[in-house]
A and B are shown apart, each in its own frame.
Chain A
Amino acid sequence: MSLEVLQSGAALDTGGYPAFFRFREIGERVVVTSIEGEWIVLTREEFRGFLRGEVDRDGALHQRLVERNLVRESFDARRAAEAYRRRKRFVHYGPNLHLMVVTLRCNETCVYCHASRANLDALHTDMTIETAERAVDLILRTTSPHVTIEFQGGEPLVNFPVVQHIVEYATQRNRGLGKQLEFTMVSNLSLMDETKLAWLLAHRVQLCTSIDGPKSLHDKQRKLPTLSSYDAAEPWIARINAAYREAGLDPTLYHVEALLTTTKETLERWREVVDTYVALGCRALFLRPVDPFGFAEKTRKIVEYPREDYLAYYRRAVDYIIELNHQGVEILERYAAIFLTKILTGDDPNFLDIRSPGGAGIGQLAYNYDGTIYSSDEGRMLGAMGDPTFAIGDVRTSRYRDIVSHPTVRAMAIASNLEGQPDCVDCPYVPYCGTQPEHNHKTLGTMMGRMRESSMCAVHKGIQDFLFEKLATADAATLEILHRWTTIRAREHFVQPVAEGG
């Protein structure tokens, strides 16, 4: 019997050997996973034996299958339930990521960003102190013991006094609550100065920036009037990293991380992108495809690309990153690290866009400068484009429990539960995957989405194909590198002290 027969849905006599499984062919191999995320990669011959129950009970294959809890006669239901529970641990807590858009004003103009910015004279797009305080009051009502407040914009440094007030107010309010509170700022760094930096370092605000690759590409995509946006950011990255070292912090853990947006022009320049990140001292590169949010239709043609082209770029770039790791350079790719953590450790790093159910509204919230609350930053960007579907409250009038149980949030949780999705229910990657209702809504006209037509599904599937290929064929040294990428080290320094003067 061939795999083609199985795929045609013909009746199959498995001899009662396999426990529940899902499978997918990748080249000459077949990935098999269980409902709780145990996995094995088999040759086609081994897979046929597994299906028919024709596996030597004293042989190594049977042993491997038993170890992965994939054999019906030895199936350990308690172990499977525990593993499933562990993977879904995140459902026990509410939003831990809170994005605060403190202003829409920005001094840079980026080709892929229209909905998230306003000119520097648009003072009405600054968040007020009163709105900021009401947002913090709501944030600290979350049931999550971990809270990260991420300052976004616009450019948050434009409204620095409100950033400062939020940090001080939230830290003060948290004293009686004892949550693990952290602050992150995503800034283009061009408006940084020594006074602001000293304050941010003293208040343990983690700093992130955006780097779109080598200088020529970065400057072309992120325009700063009369100046190079790359030259405006780069010295500050070095300066901040030096400050961390001077403070005695481990540079492998404490350094500026950067965010990349992959546009059409990035695809050919994968090597330069990786080299740029290494040269800047970054330890992680997130090869994110461009979002469909926030830019006008005519811009789409300039920045968008077919997903096959993206996946070819992804493979080349990650192969190169692995090659650099072999040479002793420590840098990881973020998508790979997220999926590998799920695949190799049985844990879930709670990356909010790649989990099931998704994190919108129940794992993250976004607070717009005007006080409107959205399910996520993507929902906010759609709001800025005139689509208020994902607006779920207002900091002045909404109560915490009403926000996280808002009908839109409920619909999104159902829509992003992959166990209810055609395609996903037959896909071996479902234990590790996720979908984003805002993305589906924007690209396919329905929060549920149709995975066969979803570019996000194509990206997730392609990346997981690549990773399972690697896990099946890589040498021991490469496997060690991939395992290393799953190590999560806490950055304790960025956690705010809860005791007065601490």
Chain B
Amino acid sequence: MSESLLGMPPARVLADLGEGCVILTVDASMYPQHAVYAAAYCFIARCYVWLDRAEPEAFRVVLTAKQPTDAEGLRALAGEFSNELLASAWRREITRLNRGLIESVTMQAFGGAMGPPSLDDLEAFDFSDEPFDDPLGIAQSWEDKYRKPKPGAETGAETGAAVAAETDPQGGAAT
């Protein structure tokens, strides 16, 4: 049976003590889907995690503790999830804004640590294969990935916005 937890909004957080789980409803207009994934992923060592859509505009997150727990333990899980959700959403935005700085420093750090490939490395490299697996199409151009006309062909601002909206409900950096 579901019940509310001390200090948690009952419309958003409910607990089922018998099942040892907490059920959170997340407003999809406030939090991007990626942030929900990122926050939920942090709990997989301690909980079984279930995600679905409670309503068209809300995600439902069910965290079931792997070890038996009480109301206080469930309250801690719900609170920690909420904090991680906010951190994930905000981190994503910060990363987008600081992308240039983060990328240049991180890439230099890897370049510096790896150094140029040795002859052994080159010998081990399989040139005959596809360059590398790219299931998410990260290395593809935006136009190829979404089958859009190349620049120069007729393209409009609303097309980009539509694609962004399609791939990211918040309209953030889509590719």
Contact = CB atoms under 8 A, between A and B. Distances in A.
Given A94-B113, A404-B114, A420-B98, A414 B106 contact: yes
A425 B121 contact: no
A422 B90 contact: yes
Give the residue among A142, A414, A419, A452 with the most B Cβ atoms within 10 A: A419
B95 interface: yes
Contacts of A143: 112-115
A405 B101 CA distance: 20
Interface string A268-283: 0000000000000000
A353 to B, nearest CB: 15
B105 A446 contact: no
A413 B106 contact: yes
B87 interface: yes
Contacts of B83: 450, 452-453
Given A399-B124, A446-B84, A422 B94 contact: yes
Interface stretch (A85-93, A169-177, A245-253): A85-93
Given A405-B110, A445-B45, A419 B87 contact: no
Contacts of A445: 42-43, 45-46, 80, 84
Interface in A383-422: 399, 401, 404-405, 410, 413-414, 417, 419-422
B112 A357 contact: no
Contacts of A417: 102, 105-106
Interface in B11-61: 42-43, 45-46
Contacts of B91: 420-422, 448
Nearest to B45: A445
B110 A448 contact: no
Most chain A CB neighbours (cut-off 10 Å) among B43, B46, B105: B105
B117 interface: yes
A147 to B, nearest CB: 13
A95 interface: yes
A232 to B, nearest CB: 40
B46, B90, B110 — most chain A CB neighbours (10 Å): B110
B87 A91 contact: no
Nearest to B87: A450
Interface in B59-106: 80, 83-84, 87, 90-91, 94-95, 98, 101-102, 105-106
B102 A420 contact: yes
Which of the listed residues B87, B98, B124 has the most CB atoms from chain A within 10 Å of its own CB? B87
A413 B111 CA distance: 12
Contact of B84 (A356, A401, A404, A450): A450
Contacts of A94: 112-115
A362 B109 contact: yes
Contacts of A362: 109-110, 112-113
B94 A420 contact: yes
A404 B110 contact: yes
Interface in A90-137: 91-95
Contacts of B106: 357, 413-414, 417
A414 B99 CA distance: 11
A421 B90 CA distance: 9
Contacts of B87: 422, 448, 450
A397 to B, nearest CB: 12
A410 B102 contact: no
Interface residues of B, number: 28
Contact of A419 (B46, B90, B105): B105
Contacts of B128: none
B140 interface: no
Interface string B105-136: 11011101111010011001000000000000
B138 to A, nearest CB: 14
Contact of A91 (B45, B94, B95, B105): B105
Contacts of B90: 422
A450 B60 CA distance: 23
B13 to A, nearest CB: 19
A91 B110 CA distance: 8
B151 to A, nearest CB: 30
B22 to A, nearest CB: 15
Given A399-B121, A399-B124, A450-B87, A421 B94 contact: yes
Contact of B113 (A95, A419, A421, A422): A95
B108 A91 contact: yes
Nearest to B99: A420
Most chain A beta-carbon neighbours within 10 Å: one of B94, B109, B124: B109
Interface string A62-100: 000000000000000000000000001001111100000
B91 to A, nearest CB: 5
Nearest to B92: A420
B96 to A, nearest CB: 10
A419 B114 contact: no
A325 to B, nearest CB: 36
Contacts of B114: 94, 143, 401, 404-405
B98 A425 contact: yes
Contact of A401 (B43, B102, B121): B121
Contacts of B120: 399
A162 B45 CA distance: 38
B30 to A, nearest CB: 16
A475 B68 CA distance: 58
22 contacts: A88-B105, A88-B108, A93-B112, A94-B112, A94-B115, A356-B105, A362-B113, A401-B115, A405-B110, A413-B106, A417-B105, A417-B106, A419-B98, A420-B94, A420-B95, A420-B98, A422-B90, A425-B94, A445-B84, A446-B42, A448-B87, A452-B83
Interface of B: 42-43, 45-46, 80, 83-84, 87, 90-91, 94-95, 98, 101-102, 105-106, 108-110, 112-115, 117, 120-121, 124
Given A362-B109, A422-B94, 10 more contacts: A91-B105, A143-B112, A143-B115, A357-B106, A414-B106, A422-B91, A445-B84, A446-B84, A450-B84, A450-B87
Name the 5 nearest CB pairs between A and B, nearest first: A94-B113, A143-B115, A91-B109, A362-B113, A92-B112
